[in-house]
Amino acid sequence: MNYGTVVRVLGNLLIIEAIGMIPALAISVFFREHDAKAFIESIFAVLLIGYTMSLAPKSKNKIKAKEGLIIVSLGWLLVSFFGAFPFVLSGSIPSFIDAFFETVSGFTTTGATIIDDIEVLPRGILFWRSFTHWIGGMGILVFTVAILPAMGVGSFQIFKAESPGPVADKIVPRIKDTAKLLYVTYVGITLTEIVLLIFGGMSVYEAMLHTFGTVGTGGFSTRNASIGAFNSVYIHVVIGVFMILSGINFSLYYELYKGKWRDVFKNEELRLYLSVIGTSVLLITLNIYKSVYGNIFESLRHAFFQVSSIITTTGYATANFDEWGSFSKGILYLLMFVGGCAGSTGGGMKNIRILILLKLIKREASKILHPRAVIPIRVGGRTIPPDMLAGIASFFALYMLIFALGTIVVSLEGISMVSASSAVAATLGNIGPGFEFIGPSRTFSQFSQPIKVLLSLFMLMGRLELFTVLVLLSPRFWRDEIYS
């Protein structure tokens, strides 16, 4: 194990995080608010620690699989730990565990919050809180790969361990160029939404923060009532559309750029994703039309927004959907497990895994009638290899196991099973709000400190796709060289 390289990369990561706090400091200074000192102290501390770590000696340029897993897992833990400093030092969140929960929620683009009154926070803190969504959306480690090409050819191991989905594909041969292309797309979508929101009447400041939460599929808002505070159909539609766009595999935008429109629209994962959204919106609209709103257009608007928000794991809200009927809430609950597409900023299990699991079920049903038949699983004309099928089945089983055990543990708080299960689903799937105890009009502040730590771990596990974190807990991982 090349510990020197691991420490150096993590040090560079902290340097990037310190630089990332500078815009929040600038906002604080501009508005002359008291949190400027907290950002100065945080930047200095994180920069000093990061610079010291970056001086660690390295014996090799190549990063192996084991080192990539360690860098990604510890990297997310470190940026969350040090990212909590401004909250604590400014007094905005006095408890470090609460601040850590909020920061993990930000970087993992979960959007779960322990802050009961968001609107009293200084604007620099609110900026940093939302900016963590934007940094974490595409992945702070992928960002590191994009701007630090000197890390060497082994940087693919970081990209592979970081990328959401069952497989990480390079768009172009060089991994640093792939990362840069992804970020060019990411920045382009971000700037476009900011302009559109400003056109809709938002201030530049709020347009930026809500765009960070949309494109990063995070969901932190500057208002206690979330997007519902902006009583504008235009703003609701713009944010709803951009949530859907952010839940699409970003590599497909590169295909569109190359003019491969037909290939994009034939993409099976994209078609499933859009079909699930369309069907869910239609069913919920019909369900809440008479029972809640009595207006078909208003019902359609809220149904479209909440379906877009939940399936992309953003977590914004225009209405208190916890007050909707059981049928509509049941659909939203199921969408928590689906999530966005692989290679997007969305969380959840990803549509590609759902698609392959459905094909597996269909194949097993066919084998009852034709037991000797060899029926390959194909997606996009490509046969899925058996090891990937086994990996997807294992991921699903592990996901549901963690969900079930986590629900039992969280229920010890004395809350209903619906509240406990939705809290686990909302954090493990990086969604944010749930139902009842942690509905869209409530926060996670009422949980005990140990449960907040557990839910923080679930957020990290969900963002890093379970196995990346769990493999580090195996003694064999540290003992054997087969992972190198």
Looking at the domain assignment, is residue 420 inside a domain?
no
The answer on pLDDT for 483 being more than 70 is no
Q: Same domain, yes or no, for 5 and 110?
A: yes
- The helix (run of H) or strand (run of E) holding residue 383 is strand 382-383
Binding residue positions: 109-110, 218, 313-314, 430
The answer on pLDDT for 153 being more than 50 is no
Task: Choose one of 401, 418, 440: the last residue of a domain.
Answer: 401
- Using one digit for the tens of pLDDT, what is the confidence trace for 221-232? 999 999 999 989
Task: Choose one of 401, 423, 454: the last residue of a domain.
Answer: 401
Helix-helix angle 123-138:3-20, to 10 degrees: 140
Task: Choose one of 133, 162, 191: the last residue of a domain.
Answer: 162
The predicted model scores a pTM of 0.90
Query: How high is the pLDDT of residue 137?
Result: 83
Q: Same domain, yes or no, for 44 and 125?
A: yes
Are 171 and 181 within 8 A, CB to CB?
yes
Q: Same domain, yes or no, for 54 and 177?
A: no
Which are the contacts of 334, defined by CB distance < 8 A and separation ≥ 6?
A: none
Looking at the domain assignment, is residue 323 inside a domain?
yes
Query: How high is the pLDDT of residue 463?
Result: 85
Are 262 and 270 within 8 A, CB to CB?
no
Query: How high is the pLDDT of residue 195?
Result: 97
Q: Same domain, yes or no, for 152 and 73?
A: yes
- Give the type of residue at 437: F
Are 428 and 444 within 8 A, CB to CB?
no
Q: Same domain, yes or no, for 319 and 265?
A: yes
3-class secondary-structure state, position 78: helix
- Using one digit for the tens of pLDDT, what is the confidence trace for 427-443? 999 998 999 999 888 99
Percent of the chain with pLDDT over 90: 56
Are 59 and 34 within 8 A, CB to CB?
no
Q: Same domain, yes or no, for 106 and 189?
A: no
Looking at the domain assignment, is residue 429 inside a domain?
no
Looking at the domain assignment, is residue 227 inside a domain?
yes
Alpha carbon distance 412, 407 (integer Å): 9
Query: How high is the pLDDT of residue 6?
Result: 83
Looking at the domain assignment, is residue 328 inside a domain?
yes
Looking at the domain assignment, is residue 5 inside a domain?
yes
Q: Specify the DSSP class assigned to residue 291.
A: I
The answer on pLDDT for 206 being more than 90 is yes
Q: Same domain, yes or no, for 105 and 243?
A: no
Would you call 475 exposed, middle or buried from its count of C-beta atoms within 10 A (0-12, 13-18, 19+)? exposed
Query: How high is the pLDDT of residue 158?
Result: 46
Q: Which carries the bigger pLDDT value, residue 302 or residue 480?
A: 302
Q: Same domain, yes or no, for 151 and 195?
A: no
The answer on pLDDT for 11 being more than 70 is yes
**Residue 144 confidence class, pLDDT cut points 50, 70, 90:** low
Sign of CA dihedral 3, 9, 12, 16: negative
Binding residue positions for K(+): 109-110, 218, 313-314, 430
Q: Which carries the bigger pLDDT value, residue 177 or residue 254?
A: 254
Are 336 and 349 within 8 A, CB to CB?
no
The answer on pLDDT for 69 being more than 50 is yes
Query: How high is the pLDDT of residue 374?
Result: 80
Percent of the chain with pLDDT over 70: 86
Looking at the domain assignment, is residue 196 inside a domain?
yes
- Residue 392 pairs in a beta bridge with none
Alpha carbon distance 56, 61 (integer Å): 13
Alpha carbon distance 379, 135 (integer Å): 31
Q: Specify the DSSP class assigned to residue 439.
A: -
Looking at the domain assignment, is residue 412 inside a domain?
no
Are 269 and 287 within 8 A, CB to CB?
no
Q: Same domain, yes or no, for 300 and 264?
A: yes
The tally of domains found in the chain comes to: 2
Across residues 391-395, what is the average pLDDT?
A: 86
Which domain, by its residues, includes 231?
172-401
The answer on pLDDT for 108 being more than 80 is yes
Q: Same domain, yes or no, for 299 and 151?
A: no
The answer on pLDDT for 151 being more than 50 is no
Q: Same domain, yes or no, for 252 and 276?
A: yes
Q: Same domain, yes or no, for 138 and 179?
A: no
The answer on pLDDT for 484 being more than 60 is no
Least-confidence region, from 351-365, 370-384, 423-437:
370-384
* Mean pLDDT score of the chain: 86
Residue found under tokens 């907040």: 452
The answer on pLDDT for 308 being more than 50 is yes
**Residue 154 confidence class, pLDDT cut points 50, 70, 90:** very low
